[in-house]
Chain A
C-alpha cells in the first residue's frame, strides 16, 4: 500500500447519512428497472459519480504499478488459472482431503447445501455455547447468506470489525465493494455517522482520527466478544489449514482472544497444496490494493489452545455453476476486486446499482448464476471492453462469460420484452442488405434535418448525456461505389 494522495472531487464537502442504496438495507436484488434504473439514480449526482470514478481509478493505478514490478506476473496469472482448473476437476476429492486433515488437526468441519443450512449450523454452534456477541471479520459469504440479520433475530450480536464494514453496518447499509465496503462514503459522512454512533466530536472528518476512534470502539468489542468469525481466503487440502488475509488485523484480533472460531467458506476456496498459496498470495494484494502482500496472512491449523475451530463449507449453488462449462471458470475468483476498480460501468454506477452482494463484472456473473431472474439485467451492465479480463489475477474470461450469459438469458426468455424485440429488429435489418442501406440513408437524413428536440428525444438513449457525431454526407458504401476504389494520389 503506497498511500499518498486521495482523489477529492468537486462536492467533497457534502455530508449526510442518507442511504444511497435504496430502502431495503440489504442486497435484495433490484427493482423492475434493473441495473439501468439503479445506475441512473447514481449518476444523477454528477459530482459524486465523478468522485467515485476517480477513487476507484486511483486503486486501479496502484494495482498497475504493483503488477509491473513483478517480472513473472503473467506466468503467475497462468499458474493461478491452471491451479484453479486442476482443482475444479477434483474439487470433491480435495474437499475431502481438506476435511480429513483439518479434522486431524482438531477442527470440526460442517457442510451446508444452501444459505439456510449454513446459517442454521452457525447459529447452532454459537447458541449451544451461549455466545452473545461475535466479532466478525470480512466474509462475503456470510453477506451472501444474510447471516448477520439471521443471528440478530436470534439474539446474537454480530460486530463487523473491518473498518469499512463497521462503517456500513453502523449506517445500516450493505457493503458497496468487496475490498472497500465504504468506498461510496465521503469522510464527512463517516464523521457525521461516527459523531452520532461513537460520540466523536461534531465535524471531525480526519481519516486518522476517525480510524483511531474506531480502534478504541472496536477494541472494546474484541475484548468482550464470546466468539470470532472469519471468512476463508484459502483452504489447503494438503494440510487442512485455512488462510485469512487482512490489513487491519481484525481477523486476528477476533480469533486469538475468544476460545471459539467459526470460519465460513465456499467449496471453491480450496487449493491442493501449501505451495499453491505462494502463487495466489503474490497476486491477491497486488491486484486488490497495489500492496505486495496484506499486512497479516494468517494460517490457522486447528483451534486455539483449549478452544474450538469450526469450518463451515457451503455449496450455495456453486456445484450448479461448476456443472456449466461456459461459466464454471468464474468459480476461480479470489475476490480481489480488480475487475470492479477497472470497470467503466462499475466506476460510474456504484456497487449498489448491481443489487448483489458481489457487484461489478464478476458479481454480474455470480449473481446471475445464483438467481437468473432476480439479476437478469447484470450481464448487460457491461460495455464488454474486456478490461476486467486484463486485470483478473486468475484470468477469468469475464467479458466472454458475460456475453455468453446474455445469450443464455435470451435462450431462456429471461430478457425484457423491449430488448428482445429490439434485438429481433436489429437482427432482421442486419440480415437484409437493402434494409440496412435504407436504414442508414434515412438515419443520415433524419439526423441532419430533424429538430434537436426530436433528434435528441427520449427515444435516443445514446444522445442523453453526450453529443452524437455529425452524420456523414454519404456512407462508406456510397463512397466506394462512386470511386470504385480508384487510387488517389
Chain B
C-alpha cells in the first residue's frame, strides 16, 4: 500500500514528461557591501533587533550582564564561553524546562549583512529550541564573521548528518492583526546581536 503510493506518485511525475531544462548559473547573483559591520547594523535594526559592538571577548560578559539587567532577566542561560549564566542547559532533562528562561545567550556562526540574519547551528546545544522558548535572545558573532548575502551564507553551511540550524533575524514578530507590527509573538521578545572584535 505505502509502496504502491510511492511508485504511483513517482510514475505519474515521470509520465508528465516535463521538458528538461538546465540548472541556472547562480554565481553572478548577490550583493556586495563595502562596510559589512555598518550594513549589518542597519539590517539588524530593520528587522527590529539591536546590534551591540563589543571590543573583545573580555568585554562581552559585562555587556551581556548589562543587557540582562536592563531586561530584568533573572534566569540567564549561556552557551557562549566566557559569558556566565545561572541556568545550565545541560542540566535540564526535558526541553519543556526551558520555559521561564529570561535570556538565552547563544553563539552565532556568522551574520548576513544583506538581511540582518544570524546563522545559529544548534549542534552544541543539548536543547535546540532554547532560542525560541527564551523570553529574550542574545546572539554572539565575531566581527570577522559577516557575509554579504545569502549566497555566501549557504557556501558556509553544510549538513553532514542530522542536525538543526536556523537563521534568526531579529525578535519574534507578527502583523496578523490589522497589519500592526507587534514584537514578541511566540519567541524572543527582543534580539540583541553582539558583534565581538
Contact = CB atoms under 8 A, between A and B. Distances in A.
Contacts of B17: 323
Interface string A293-304: 111111111111
Given A211-B182, A295-B168, A72 B29 contact: yes
B2 A301 contact: no
Contact of B23 (A117, A223, A272): A272
Contact of B167 (A79, A106, A249, A296): A296
Interface string A1-36: 111101110000000000000000000000000000
A405 interface: no
B185 A282 contact: no
A210 interface: yes
Contacts of A1: 47-48, 173, 175, 181
A219 B24 contact: no
Contacts of A208: 180, 182
Nearest to A112: B5
Nearest to B7: A111
A211 B177 contact: yes
Interface string B44-71: 0011100000000000000000000000
A215 B185 CA distance: 6
A117 B5 contact: yes
Given A75-B29, A279-B29, A252 B132 contact: yes
Contacts of A86: 20-24
A376 B181 CA distance: 37
B177 A92 contact: no
A164 B12 CA distance: 36
Contact of B178 (A6, A88, A247, A319): A6
Given A72-B29, A282-B114, A300 B164 contact: yes
A161 B186 contact: yes
Nearest to A281: B150
Contact of B13 (A6, A92, A214, A291): A92
B106 interface: no
Contacts of B5: 111-113, 117
A90 B16 CA distance: 10
Interface string A252-274: 11011100000000010000101
A70 B150 CA distance: 12
Given A1-B47, A89-B20, A223 B99 contact: yes
Contact of A249 (B8, B22, B185): B185
Interface of B: 2, 5-6, 8-10, 12-24, 26, 28-31, 43, 46-48, 95-96, 98-99, 112, 114-117, 127-129, 131-133, 149-151, 153-155, 157-159, 161-182, 184-188
25 contacts: A55-B178, A95-B9, A164-B174, A180-B176, A182-B176, A211-B174, A247-B174, A248-B173, A249-B185, A250-B185, A252-B187, A256-B127, A257-B129, A267-B13, A292-B43, A292-B115, A293-B167, A294-B169, A296-B166, A296-B168, A300-B164, A301-B164, A319-B12, A319-B13, A320-B12
